[in-house]
Amino acid sequence: MKIGKLEIKDRLILAPMAEITDKPFRQMARKHNAALTFTQMISARGVVRSEFRTMRKIAFSKSELPIGVQILGCEPDCIGESVKEISKYKPTVIDLNAGCPVKNVTKLGFGAALLDKPQKLGKIVSAMKKNSNGIPVSVKMRLGNRKNNALETAKIIEGEGADFITLHPKLGTQSSEDKPDWTQIAELKSKLRIPVIGNGFVFTAEDAIKMREETNCDAVMVSRGAIGNPFIFSRFEQLVKNGNAPLPTVDEIYANTLEHVEKIKIEYGRNLSGLHNAKKHIIWYFKYLNGINWLIPNVLNARSCDELAEVLEKHFEKLKNDEYPQTDVEEIKRKFKDRILFWLLDKKD
Ligand SMILES: Cc1cc2nc3c(=O)[nH]c(=O)nc-3n(C[C@H](O)[C@H](O)[C@H](O)COP(=O)(O)O)c2cc1C
């Protein structure tokens, strides 16, 4: 598929994820050859008011291109104005969030709540198109908020000139554990003229191949599957080309973790904000390897970036020397899907 001048073939797209797809994360995905990355969702009102915290989330460097900026809001005028402002920075695409199911978001009429009002959503897309200065616009949507009205909504979005749609085939009322219905991606793809990107429950490069085959989608967007796993992007390309792709070695995981942490320090500094950010990513990189139960408390208790580096080095050595007992990976996979990070702190288990 093509997004403006960008050709996306046999490569994966990184999804927008709040508090996760910041610059260091996107740079790691880019290093592993993601076709396109996204900022996290950004308040349209914050852009219009030029709020510092919002504008900082948009900041991207030229070397990060191609990149998409995702906006959140519900008023066509405000969204149109924000798109005009964002277009000055020339991202590859400007995307509208019509999928976030979080209560604090939907109660304002944002995210998945937009799917209850397809006509209004159409007006938003029209305003985006008018103000984007030729930059492609897209919508990332679910099947509906409370009921499935995906086809009706998508047709309106297409009619208003959106360049593509990303579908996460679940309702707004469904939780992160509920499996998305991939057949709905195939359904939408068969009924639209514009490209359809599939999203949902792609945790490995093999899953992405399966989604592509089963749905005929134009591209696959990865979210949780890329957390602590930028290798998913390069593995997918290798799998398509060669039919096989080795899993990353412990050395590769360690080297990429160190690189990611260095980028975090550059972005946030070696202060508390850098430290906390680094902690979660370190745990994510090693979550499916032996010794994770040793790593978690030691990482969480580290009080400086230097202490963190020592913990990491020790963990790497222990892994290399095969000092840990076997971890129940399936159990960790289940918990990670359920709660991403907070399973780490779940005392019940
Ligand atoms: C921590 C987290 C933050 C997210 N933030 C956003 C966001 O800012 N914008 C958005 O459109 N979707 C967001 N999502 C949804 C994902 O992009 C994606 O649609 C969803 O996780 C399903 O894909 P997956 O099963 O591959 O994770 C977020 C998901 C997670 C787990």
Which structure tokens are listed for 111? 């995210």
Kindly list the protein residues whose Cβ atom lies closer than 6 A to any atom of ligand 1: 15-18, 20, 40-41, 70, 97, 99-100, 140, 168, 199-202, 222-225, 340
Residue 262 CB neighbours (<10 A):
12
- Nearest alpha carbon, ligand 1 atom 29: 17
Is the bond preceding 66 in cis, omega lying within 30 degrees of 0?
yes
pLDDT digits (tens, 9 = 90+) for 117-159: 999 999 999 999 999 999 999 999 999 999 999 999 999 999 9
Report the top-level CATH class of 2-242. alpha beta
pLDDT value, residue 342:
53
Q: Is 100 a catalytic residue?
A: yes
**C-alpha Rg value of the chain to the nearest Å:** 20
Give the position of tokens 């919002």: 54
**Ligand 1 midpoint to CA 200 (Å):** 9
pLDDT at 341: 62
Instruction: Tell whether the model's pLDDT for residue 349 goes beyond 50.
Output: no
CA-nearest residue for atom 14, ligand 1, is: 17
Predicted confidence (pLDDT) per residue in 236-267, tens digit: 999 999 999 999 999 999 999 999 999 999 99
17, 70, 138, 207, best to mutate for ligand 1 pocket (most atoms within 8 Å of CB): 17
Residue 347 has a pLDDT of 42
Quickly list DSSP for 161-213. T-SEEEEEEEETTS-TTSPP-THHHHHHHHH-SS-EEEESS--SHHHHHHHHH
Q: Three-state SS for 107?
A: coil
pTM as predicted: 0.96
Q: Work out the pLDDT band at 340, boundaries 50, 70, 90.
A: low
Catalytically annotated residue among 74, 100, 217, 305:
100
Domain ranges, ordered by start, for the chain: 2-242, 250-345
pLDDT value at position 333?
84
Which tens digits make up the pLDDT trace of 70-106?
999 999 999 999 999 999 999 999 999 999 999 999 9
| pLDDT tens digit sequence for 289-299 | 999 989 999 99
User: What would the pLDDT profile of 309-320 be if each residue is shown by its tens digit?
Assistant: 999 999 999 999
Contact 286, 295 (CB under 8 A): yes
Identify the CA nearest to 274 among candidates 284, 295, 260: 260
Ligand 1 mean position, distance from CA 257 (Å) = 22
Q: What is the CA(21)–ligand 1 centre distance, in A?
A: 10
Distance 16 CA to ligand 1 centre (A): 6
104 contact partners, CB below 8 Å, separation of at least 6? none
